[in-house]
Amino acid sequence: MAATAKTPIVLIHGLWMTPKSWNTWAEYFRARGHEVIVPGWPGIDDREVADIRSNPAALQGIGLNQIADHYERIIRALPEKPIIMGHSFGGLLTQMLADRGLGVAYVGVTPGQPAGITTLPPSTLRTGFPILANPFDKNGAKPISKAHFHFTFGNDLSREASDRLWQDFAVNSYNRVFFEGVAGAFNEKGGVSHVDYARADRAPLLILTGGIDHVVPPAIGRAIVKKYRSTGSRAIVDYREFPGRTHRTVSQDGWQEVAEFALTWATEHVEAGAPAA
């Protein structure tokens, strides 16, 4: 199929979020003629935030492979390969799906790192501490407090403004996902989030970070890109850092600049037939 400006786009949300977190980018891309598919993680699906908070049992025990398999089934049912974009842990899942060859271009927006990348700045560890501090609750679904949401997602805002966003968007964690992500950092071959960094036929991948992101600081984004490039693979891996952007970059004021950059980069590479770098 010839590449067109209307390549479908699949958006994958991150931990503590639902598909609602993508409302900004989804409508922006639809206004430009793209079909946009925004599935929830298994257990979230199309449920409302309040419903998930009151009954998080369906989130318990779900790991990265189950979530990746869930998205693979959805993507394989599409009539053509899509552009895949993921935020945070959704960005890690995007890289796992890229390793399965499911898209025509990939964008990791402040993405988690795949197995074997040990860069874990203090602020990143702090974001996971409420979950990682209790290994006996590995299969649980812990809620995120308003204070922790402020540090994690709303660090550019007043506490009052951050609390309003918590009310609208925040849901419980998939604890297992966090344990798998951290464990994989020190177990490249056996980690659940393992990918083939040297894969030569991977479609182009873009990594985006925000300059004041506490969860995925630029050091992690740069480490991801360095790992892919260090293999000598000719597959395209690009990087862009946006100063002043937090982990909430998909909805933070001025999100349109980031969305437009991601869309332009992806569609240009699709239209160019993704030549090797």
Domain annotation covers residue 277: no
CA dist 202 → 28, 235, 242, 249 (Å): 27, 6, 25, 26
Residue 167 zone, left/alpha/beta (φ > 0; ψ -120 to 50; rest): alpha
pLDDT tens-place string over residues 78-113: 999 999 999 999 999 999 999 999 999 999 999 999
Q: Is the predicted pLDDT of residue 5 greater than 70, yes or no? A: no
**Domain range for residue 182?**
9-271
**Residue 233 belongs to a domain with what CATH number?**
3.40.50.1820
CA terminus-to-terminus distance, the chain:
22
Domain annotation covers residue 198: yes
- What integer pLDDT is reported at residue 119 of this predicted model? 96
Domain annotation covers residue 143: yes
The rounded distance, in Å, linking the Cα atoms of 74 and 122 is 36
- Kindly report the pTM of this predicted structure: 0.95
Q: Is the predicted pLDDT of residue 270 greater than 70, yes or no? A: yes
Number of compact structural domains in the chain:
1
Domain annotation covers residue 1: no
Domain annotation covers residue 3: no
Under the banding of pLDDT at 50, 70 and 90, the label for residue 277 is very low
Domain annotation covers residue 222: yes
Percent of the chain residues topping a pLDDT of 90: 95
Domain annotation covers residue 162: yes
Q: Is the predicted pLDDT of residue 3 greater than 80, yes or no? A: no
